[in-house]
């Protein structure tokens, strides 16, 4: 499906995105779905092919489902009913999400599928183009490029979004601070062959100096990770196969015949966050806005979710249906989410440190995790199923992700996420009779009249709520306003929510 181009004059694009990683590609797709003209500029000539992230979490699977592209990812990965908090197992609950399990899929595959989708939507991607300069004024942003693709060396756009990773050039050029905590350890990671490993799978084995694991992810291939504490290596020092082998020998007493490295990298537990996600016409998303220990595999997932929060807002501002101020809600909503992830990864890093005290702490923590309330708190936090944005509505669903409940409309049975494929807001009328209100926003908000198939809807953290009578659902799947059974529909509040999120009514 191709988006519909909105007009733009005197610019090369409505929006320039720096970086064709998972965040930049997701954002580009979201903007194109809304008809925005977008150019992605990427420093690399080809995708790096680095495997990096190993999984997509429940909420990411849900947002891909909301766009109708989830099947592509499911076909390229494998669902695994295990998760962990600092290596301690978490259980999942099928009641909380239609996609309760993480999908094991390498980042390279995620990027390939996103790039294919972006191509279908008509996203322009310029490779071998690195952002080197940013100059914003009242009417737009001029982006200077080190371009060897034969295209122009400057681009003029309404907005620039830096999705250019943890060492973001855009962030630096925009003068946005990146405070946080320093690394206290060094981890090495490699996709290698381990012919002498006696087991298929080694899950975090703790030793005096740190820990190691070796996880089979493809026939014949293992992902080896070694973590050594109080050994902090300069981040610019090259990573070598010998370093990985030496580290494994130090921790495991053997290199298990390690050979044929396909990819080797290094990471640590430094945790930093941009102090502002927006500076005028320049915004940040993904690793450009936050870096942290990859414990629990939250980084890529959070970047995709940043993009889904920002996309529809930026599109509305570009189209002129919402004021620039809507973009501030991107910072207001996503900065606390990032802050909380930094917090939980710091906790996971602390729980992973070697030593008798931490061994004891892990045992105590692990014994708490068998209690369902503790397990639920941790799994919904790591899977971002409990994220609740501020909302001026007292309904328990307001601000939360909408459950993917079964509903029946005139065309037959469907489910809520099917309604969000176009990336447009939906006013779902389940008997409240709000069609008259919807008419004033019919150019921007889709009205769907249906009835609920279930008596109650599952909501992580609060178990369930009675089926609502009406819901205003944002394109990112969060509930802007809801009305419950047995209460009069507050049309003033509904009009207020429509105006806040989707701009003024067409008339009156
Ligand atoms: C070892 C490891 C394991 C991980 N495991 C997980 C996991 O299991 N789950 C998870 O969710 N996350 C995981 N992560 C984190 C995850 O890899 C990142 O969070 C994710 O890549 C962030 O995506 P992004 O698009 O924001 O940034 P990136 O993937 O870093 O993409 C940024 C892009 O911008 C480009 N770029 C940089 N500078 C410029 C410039 N000046 N101009 C133009 N382009 C530029 C880069 O070439 C790159 O393509 C892991 C990370 C590591 C290192």
Q: What is the 3-state secondary structure (H, E, C) of 361-396?
A: HHHHHHHHHCCHHHHHHHHHHHCCCCCECCCCCCCC
Provide the CATH number for the domain around residue 80: 3.50.50.60
- How much is the pLDDT for 507? 65
How far is residue 310's CA from residue 320's CA, in Å, rounded to a whole number? 15
Query: Does the residue 350 lie in any domain?
Result: yes
Same domain, 173 and 191: no
Which helix (H) or strand (E) segment holds residue 79: the answer is strand 78-79
Query: Does the residue 395 lie in any domain?
Result: no
Nearest to 445 by CA among 504, 384, 379, 498: 498
Provide the CATH number for the domain around residue 217: 3.30.70.2450
C-alpha distances out from residue 213 to 204, 209, 241, 300, 452, Å: 5, 14, 16, 21, 46
Would strands 13-18 and 38-41 be described as parallel, antiparallel, or unpaired? Answer: parallel
Of ligand 1's atoms, which has the minimum distance to the CA of residue 300? 11
Of ligand 1's atoms, which has the minimum distance to the CA of residue 54? 8
Count of domains for the chain: 3
The tokens describing 64, both together, are 């891909």
The tokens describing 445, both together, are 């908000």
Cβ-contact 303, 163 below 8 angstroms: yes
Same domain, 259 and 300: no
Q: Residue 100: which domain range? A: 13-179+272-382
Query: Does the residue 401 lie in any domain?
Result: no
How far is residue 259's CA from residue 261's CA, in Å, rounded to a whole number? 6
Of ligand 1's atoms, which has the minimum distance to the CA of residue 130? 42
How far is residue 483's CA from residue 460's CA, in Å, rounded to a whole number? 19
- 382 Cα–ligand 1 center, Å: 18
First vs last C-alpha separation in the chain:
34
- 145 Cα–ligand 1 center, Å: 20
C-alpha distances out from residue 136 to 27, 171, 262, 289, Å: 21, 13, 41, 19
- 407 Cα–ligand 1 center, Å: 38
Cβ-contact 32, 360 below 8 angstroms: no
Strands (DSSP E) contained in 230-289 are 259-267, 271-273, 278-279, 282-284
Of ligand 1's atoms, which has the minimum distance to the CA of residue 22? 25
Same domain, 359 and 242: no
| Ligand 1 pocket residues where CB is under 6 Å | 18-24, 41-44, 52-55, 107, 130-131, 163-165, 169, 189, 265, 267, 286-287, 294, 297-301, 303
Same domain, 293 and 357: yes
How far is residue 393's CA from residue 500's CA, in Å, rounded to a whole number? 12
Ligand 1 atom 11, closest CA: 300
Query: Does the residue 394 lie in any domain?
Result: no
Would strands 154-162 and 13-18 be described as parallel, antiparallel, or unpaired? Answer: parallel
Query: Does the residue 368 lie in any domain?
Result: yes
Q: Which residues pair with 166 in a beta bridge?
A: none
CA atoms within a 13 Å half-sphere pointing along the CA-CB vector of 141: 26
Same domain, 95 and 44: yes
Query: Does the residue 302 lie in any domain?
Result: yes
Last residue of a domain, one of 234, 267, 300: 267
Same domain, 205 and 326: no
Same domain, 159 and 211: no
- How much is the pLDDT for 2? 33
Same domain, 167 and 89: yes
Same domain, 366 and 486: no
Same domain, 91 and 167: yes
* Non-local CB neighbours of 149 within 8 Å, separated by 6+ positions: 126, 127, 128, 129
- 225 Cα–ligand 1 center, Å: 18
313 in helix, strand or coil?
Answer: helix
The tokens describing 131, both together, are 């952002």
Last residue of a domain, one of 249, 267, 285: 267
- How much is the pLDDT for 323? 87
354 in helix, strand or coil?
Answer: coil
Query: Does the residue 454 lie in any domain?
Result: yes
Alpha helices per DSSP H over 320-371? 326-352, 356-369
The tokens describing 277, both together, are 């996600």
Residues recorded for the chain: 508
How far is residue 496's CA from residue 500's CA, in Å, rounded to a whole number? 6
Same domain, 137 and 64: yes
Same domain, 239 and 286: no
Last residue of a domain, one of 328, 350, 382: 382
Per-residue pLDDT of the chain (508 residues; tens, 9 = 90+): 333 344 445 789 999 999 999 999 999 999 999 999 999 999 999 998 887 888 999 999 999 999 999 999 999 999 988 889 999 999 888 889 999 999 999 999 999 999 999 999 999 999 999 999 999 999 999 999 999 999 999 999 999 999 999 999 999 999 999 999 999 999 999 999 999 998 888 999 999 999 999 998 888 999 999 999 987 988 889 999 999 999 999 999 999 999 999 999 999 999 999 999 999 999 999 999 999 999 989 999 999 999 999 999 999 999 999 988 999 999 999 999 999 999 999 999 999 999 999 999 999 999 999 999 999 999 999 999 999 999 999 999 999 999 999 999 988 989 999 999 999 999 999 999 999 999 999 999 999 999 998 889 988 888 899 999 999 999 999 999 999 998 999 999 999 999 999 999 986 5
* Non-local CB neighbours of 80 within 8 Å, separated by 6+ positions: 55, 101, 102, 103, 104
Q: How many CB atoms lie within 10 A of CB 376?
A: 20
How far is residue 222's CA from residue 220's CA, in Å, rounded to a whole number? 7
How far is residue 476's CA from residue 423's CA, in Å, rounded to a whole number? 7
Query: Does the residue 8 lie in any domain?
Result: no
């Amino acid at each position: 499906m191709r988006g519909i181009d909105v007009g733009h004059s005197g610019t090369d694009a409505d929006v320039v995105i720096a970086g064709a990683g998972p965040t930049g590609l997701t954002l580009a797709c979201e903007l194109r779905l809304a008809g925005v003209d977008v150019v992605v500029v990427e420093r690399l000539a080809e995708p790096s092919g680095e495997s990096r992230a190993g999984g997509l979490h429940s909420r990411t699977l849900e947002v891909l489902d909301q766009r109708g592209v989830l099947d592509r990812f499911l076909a390229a990965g494998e669902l695994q009913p295990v998760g962990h908090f600092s290596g301690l197992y978490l259980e999942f609950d099928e009641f909380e999400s239609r996609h309760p399990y993480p999908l094991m899929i390498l980042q390279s595959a995620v990027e390939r599928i996103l790039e294919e989708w972006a191509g279908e939507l008509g996203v322009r991607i310029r490779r071998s183009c690195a952002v080197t300069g940013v100059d914003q004024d009242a009417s737009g942003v001029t982006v200077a490029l080190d371009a060897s693709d034969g295209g122009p060396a400057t681009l003029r756009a309404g907005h620039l979004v830096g999705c250019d990773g943890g060492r973001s050039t855009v962030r630096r050029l925009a003068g946005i601070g990146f405070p946080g905590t320093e690394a206290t350890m060094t981890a090495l990671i490699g996709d290698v062959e381990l012919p002498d490993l006696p087991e298929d799978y080694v899950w975090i084995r703790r030793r005096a100096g740190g820990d190691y694991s070796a996880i089979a992810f493809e026939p014949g291939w293992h992902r080896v990770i070694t973590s050594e504490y109080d050994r902090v290596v300069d981040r610019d020092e090259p990573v070598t196969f010998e370093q990985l082998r030496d580290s494994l020998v130090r921790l495991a007493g053997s290199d298990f015949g390690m050979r044929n490295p396909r990819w080797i990298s290094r990471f640590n537990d430094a945790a930093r966050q941009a102090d502002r996600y927006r500076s005028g016409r320049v915004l940040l998303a993904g690793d450009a806005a936050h870096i942290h220990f990859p414990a629990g595999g939250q980084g890529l997932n959070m970047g995709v979710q940043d993009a889904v929060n920002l996309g529809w807002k930026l599109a509305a501002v570009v189209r002129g249906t919402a004021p620039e101020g809507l973009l501030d809600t991107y910072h207001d909503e996503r900065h606390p989410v990032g802050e909380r992830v930094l917090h939980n990864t710091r906790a996971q890093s602390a729980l992973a440190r070697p030593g008798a005290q931490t061994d004891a702490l892990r045992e105590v923590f692990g014994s708490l995790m068998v209690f369902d309330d503790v397990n639920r708190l941790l799994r919904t936090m790591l899977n971002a199923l409990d994220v609740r944005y501020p909302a001026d509505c007292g309904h328990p669903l307001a601000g939360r992700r909408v459950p993917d409940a079964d509903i029946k409309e005139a065309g037959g049975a469907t489910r809520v996420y099917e309604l969000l494929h176009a990336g447009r807001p939906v006013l779902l009328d389940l008997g409240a009779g709000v069609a008259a209100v919807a008419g004033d926003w019919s150019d921007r908000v889709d009205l769907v009249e249906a009835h609920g198939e279930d008596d109650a809807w599952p909501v992580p953290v609060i178990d369930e709520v009675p089926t609502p009578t009406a819901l205003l659902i944002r394109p990112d799947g969060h509930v802007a306003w809801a009305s419950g059974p047995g209460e009069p529909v507050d049309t003033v509040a509904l009009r207020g929510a429509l105006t806040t999120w989707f701009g003024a009514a067409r008339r009156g």
